[in-house]
Chain A
Amino acid sequence: MNTPISWIKAYVPDLDVDIQEFVDKMTLSGSHVENYEKKDKNLEKIVVGKIETMEQHPDADKLVVCQVNVGTENLQIVTGAKNVKVGDMIPLVLDGGKVAAAHGDDTEYPEGIKIKKGKLRGIESNGMMCGIEELGSSRDFYPEAPEDGVYVFPTDSDVKPGDDAVKALGLDDTVVEYEITSNRVDCFSMIGMAREVAATFNKPFYPPVVEVKANDKDVNDFIKVTVEDTDLCTRYCARVVENIKIGPSPKWMQDRLKAMGIRSINNLVDITNYIMEEYGQPMHAFDLDTIANREIIVKRAKDGETFTTLDGQERKLDSGVLMICDGEKEVAIAGIMGGENSMITDNVKTVLFEAACFDGTNTRLASKRIGLQTDSSFKFTKGLDPNNAIEAINRACQLVEEMGCGDVVGGVVDVYPNPVEPKVLPFEPERYNALLGTDISKEDMLEYFKRLDLVYNDADNTLIIPTFRQDLGCMADLAEEVARFYGYDNIPVSLPKGEATVGKKPFNQRVEDIAREICERNGFSGGMSYSFESPKVFDKLLLPEDAKEREAIVISNPLGEDFSIMRTVSLNGVLTSLATNYNRRNKVARLYEFGNIYLPKALPLTELPEEKMRLTMGMYGEGDFFTMKGVVEELFDKLGVVGIECEPTSEIPYLHPGRQAYLKKGKLDIGVIGQIHPEVGDNYNLKAEAYVAVLNMEVLTMLASFDRKYEGIAKFPASTRDLSMVMDKSMFVGQIAHVIQKNAGKILESCELFDVYEGEQVGEGKKSVAFSLIFRAKDRNLESAEVDKAVDKVLGALKEMGIELRA
């Protein structure tokens, strides 16, 4: 919402603050000022001048030398403008003054352009005659200005030499732009804002006094109104104006509309626009002679109907769209736009004014479906006060009479079956104070309410809430009004008292925090990616057509296909980011991400999906499968989770078939680890060998434990035996480790792999594997024989598997 200060002052004449104070205080009372524009910011020393004489420049064909009367003296001005003549009144910038822009130049000059006296082809010029663009405006708002040349005040203008030209042109104004919150429908009007200004600065508020004389004819002889769908049209007011005289509207009205960025069209159109700004009430004017049977019927359209709006566009309608119809046809889309068939032309004789109250929600939805948003529909969508309509239409008729653009017919057609009555709320000063933590006196509160036109009824201690304040409905709403005018900044500060609470994080987040530390210690940086992605991801990851992962939740109104499904696999984000890094030639990248996957229990969704937290790690450039495995193992260790196995597999489609594994603890799925399948790499344009691990955090959280018990440091010496053996290449080392652990007995402290070798010395299809076994007893020195016995048992078990010690 924008308001020119000058227009506000029309209702709050005592307002006398500078713009900064205005902006600050309005913001603090709830009308957040986003911006303001001083129209005359860069206009200085510009007066009205009268051209007294004009002579050809002796040395330049295209220049003339004028003597310009500026009231106190005549100044010599040289100009190249072709449109001026002796006797013209023009805006003249004096020596040392400023203009906003340069002639024939689109450059913006934030500081304006300084004008100094000087010589043009040897002849002294003491200023510059200004065109409308140089004054920071345009022909849109000053249609009388020439297309190219100096602005000339119309002959009927009330200006004399020496007057302030900026003021004379109505450019001495400041337009303030507010962010109005959706609950304050009343503030989308000049009157509403003026009321807030008056309340904020505690100045008297003078809304327009509306009086219509009207002739002694009866409006009911001109028009009949029937509202069929009263749910969507709570009120419909109509008045008729005959003997229309189309012409320009007066300068004061044009100036106000200009300040709002609205071009003046003619008196009739200007009045409806003016009312929309002043009262926030959209109006429509029909040419009554186009209204069949002189009747208006308000009803829903039929599905599939079309209608041509006054902009010449054909619109598709449906049964949710409310229409204004006459006896035969549709004539307007209610609250959105009128029809071509009933629009005002220059030949109009009789006008039907409409000021109605259409349902906000329906207008919003209809305007969305039709694809047509107008200033009018914007106002209606906020949900207007039906009691405003009658005042607005009468004000329009008052202006018609004052401006002499027609004869207002007596009476109003007012279809208003269920009038909205003012709400009555109890006055509860103690509760307001209790909510705010303040000690504001009852008298002060009543004084604030009075400024807002809330009427206090002493008899039953209630407040009568005017219907334009539809946002006020309960104690808290009234407490906010008190707070606004007492000043949020005057409310004291305190801290919550009462029962103490313990600050903490849930266990799963503690587990995540540890995982973050381990990832970072191993070179992985935290990444972030979207929860929604493209269904193409499944193909990129080579998931088969019947893969469970393809059963994903679909967003009904996504930003595009690329963001249309909720991820069921977490990898895409990290892979995409690795590819980004790779293609930006970052040599090494290691990333991890914590994020949910969304697994529907059934599709279409009938209940909320399972959201499962995944830790996804990915890397390229340095390290291999075992680097990744090491990080994962470190995490398990830190979380106190033991016995997680790498189960070899080749089932995971997006991983290298020979370099992938399930991470399992018994039957529990902890996650997967492996190298990215080269074809998947190609799909992501990631040409480096990349390794990933995906961990199911909900399972890890369940298994994690930070309970530790001290076990004592070994007091007795250890005995170490190294076993080196040859086996088939296809055999898993993990299997051997298992056999050793199972057979070496309690005295085995640890069993570490220290060498794997494949090559000529061990023969084709074979590999040599070496383990170092450390034996130790907690309570005694181990006898050599005891260790030998354990080793023999291990060797026996290995032998059964066909594995021999290496000679």
Chain B
Amino acid sequence: MKEKLEAIKAEALAKIESANDLDALNDIKVAVLGKKGELTAVLKSMKDVPAEERPMVGQMVNDARTAIEEKLEEKKTSIARLLRTEKMKRETIDVTLPGKKNLRGHRHPNQIALEDLERVFIGMGYEVVEGPEVEYDRYNFELLNIPANHPAKDEQDTFYINKEILLRTQTSPVQARIMEKGNLPIRILSAGRVFRSDEVDATHSPSFHQVEGLVVDKNITFADLKGTLEQFAKEFFGEKTKVKFRPHHFPFTEPSAEVDITCFKCGGKGCRMCKGSGWIEILGCGMVHPNVLEMCGIDSKEYQGFAFGIGLERVTLLKYEIDDMRLLYENDVRFLNQF
């Protein structure tokens, strides 16, 4: 009996070892362990074994069964692994084929520049506000210290609807509207379309965007203006950017300045972009003119403020090295897709 069991076990293990697919394994399982299997047959013949030997033989049968089952499982895993390996071999792809592209839209570069700008100033506690694009002369000029017949009105080449109503030439009227409301202190940023009657060419457009900032509080100084714009320039154009303030004139600020930054292409050495000077003009600014404060109902002896205005398209063109402003308004997807 013992010999027979050993023989069945040995034969089964050998067959399992040499099986090379799952079906063969299954056949072996049925032939040995199945209802009519060899081992089952041995179990069935237990009644012929003397009673005192039965536990020992039973143990032997169970041992043989466990050994065969373990071997079967082991072989099954190894065949499955082999099969998967082969399958994966067949599944090999050319990874150098191009990736699948989603139809993805792109943000307009002017909008990206605007959002970058807004992010810097929102971080400094500025609230973004809006104002009308079709505006009263009063807000666009009069309250900004540009009375009737002031030459600055000519310089700005205004589009008029009628005597009192015009297309705003700057975002500054929003300043006047906010100051007139009188909720102090003021720390606002206002961006939007402005209009001037310039013929369309590579550097001009009759419609463009400005971003304007205004701070009014007690004790605001020109030094604060310098500090604010210096910080902005570093955030926006890079940590190494240097800033130069040049005296200038705007009717609604005094003192006024134009601000140059070190050319972000050449770092100030001089290149084509900065016309060899190493500097690029980016904005105009100044301390809010006392007349403007007073006209908007703010006591200029108690409050001081500063304002600055940035031509958004100019910054966009510079930042992305776009050589023709008209591209911004053509909306050719081959242009837009680059941003």
Chain A residues with CB under 8 Å of chain B are: 27-30, 32, 181-184, 360-361, 364-365, 381-383, 434-438, 471, 474-477, 479-480, 483-484, 488-489, 491-506, 509, 516, 519-532, 553-559, 563, 566, 574, 577, 580-581, 584, 586, 588-593, 595-596, 598, 604-605, 608-609, 611, 622
Contact = CB atoms under 8 A, between A and B. Distances in A.
B105 interface: yes
Interface string B110-154: 110000001001111111111011111000000000000101101
Interface of B: 102-108, 110-111, 118, 121-130, 132-136, 149, 151-152, 154-155, 159-162, 165, 167, 185, 187, 193, 195, 197, 199, 206-207, 215, 217-224, 226-228, 230-231, 244-249, 254-258, 287, 289-291, 304, 328-334, 336-337
Contact of A32 (B127, B129, B134, B248): B248
Given A182-B152, A437-B223, A506-B130, A474 B291 contact: yes
Contacts of B122: 503-505
A520 B104 contact: yes
Contact of A608 (B134, B160, B334): B134
Nearest to B124: A503
B181 to A, nearest CB: 15
B289 A476 contact: yes
A182 B155 contact: yes
Given A435-B304, A506-B129, A555-B161, A494 B255 contact: no
Given A32-B248, A480-B256, A530-B207, A501 B332 contact: no
A564 to B, nearest CB: 10
Contacts of B217: 496, 498-499
Contacts of B111: 516, 526
A479 B336 contact: no
Given A360-B151, A604-B162, A622-B103, A436 B332 contact: no
A476 B222 CA distance: 11
Given A382-B151, A436-B222, A555-B167, A526 B108 contact: yes
Contacts of A557: 159-160, 197
A581 B133 CA distance: 29
Nearest to A485: B247
Contact of A435 (B121, B128, B185, B222): B222
Given A488-B246, A527-B331, A496 B290 contact: no
B85 to A, nearest CB: 39
B190 to A, nearest CB: 11
Contact of A566 (B134, B136, B227): B134
The secondary-structure label for the interface of chain B is mixed
A568 to B, nearest CB: 12
B126 A527 contact: no
B93 to A, nearest CB: 26
Contacts of A497: 219, 224
A300 to B, nearest CB: 17
Given A435-B287, A556-B160, A586-B332, A527 B132 contact: no
Given A480-B254, A504-B127, A526-B106, A437 B222 contact: yes
A488 B159 CA distance: 35
B329 A555 contact: no
A503 B127 contact: yes
A529 to B, nearest CB: 6
25 contacts: A184-B249, A383-B151, A434-B221, A437-B221, A471-B249, A476-B287, A479-B254, A480-B254, A480-B255, A484-B255, A489-B245, A497-B224, A498-B217, A521-B104, A522-B103, A532-B195, A555-B159, A556-B160, A558-B159, A581-B332, A584-B334, A588-B333, A596-B133, A598-B133, A622-B103
A488 B195 CA distance: 31
B330 A577 contact: yes
B247 A611 contact: no
Nearest to A383: B151
Contact of B223 (A183, A492, A528): A492
Given A557-B159, A563-B206, A488 B228 contact: no
A29 B247 contact: yes
Most buried by A among B105, B123, B167: B105
Contacts of B331: 525, 527-529, 574, 577, 580-581, 591, 593
A641 B219 CA distance: 46
A520 B107 contact: yes
6 nearest A-B pairs in the assembled complex, by CB-CB distance: A437-B223, A437-B221, A523-B103, A181-B249, A480-B255, A526-B108
A498 B303 CA distance: 12
Given A493-B226, A609-B134, A436 B291 contact: no
A553 B161 contact: yes
B322 to A, nearest CB: 13
B291 to A, nearest CB: 7
Given A494-B223, A504-B128, 15 more contacts: A182-B155, A360-B151, A435-B222, A477-B254, A480-B247, A480-B256, A496-B224, A503-B121, A503-B126, A503-B127, A553-B134, A555-B160, A555-B161, A596-B193, A605-B162
A528 B108 contact: yes
Contacts of B121: 503
Given A434-B219, A497-B219, A520 B105 contact: yes
A506 B192 CA distance: 14
Given A476-B289, A496-B228, A588-B103, A502 B221 contact: no
B161 A528 contact: no
Given A501-B187, A527-B331, A590 B105 contact: yes
A364 B153 CA distance: 12
A595 B133 CA distance: 11
A81 to B, nearest CB: 38
A377 B248 CA distance: 24
Contacts of B255: 435-436, 476, 479-480, 483-484
A471 B257 CA distance: 16
Contacts of B258: 32
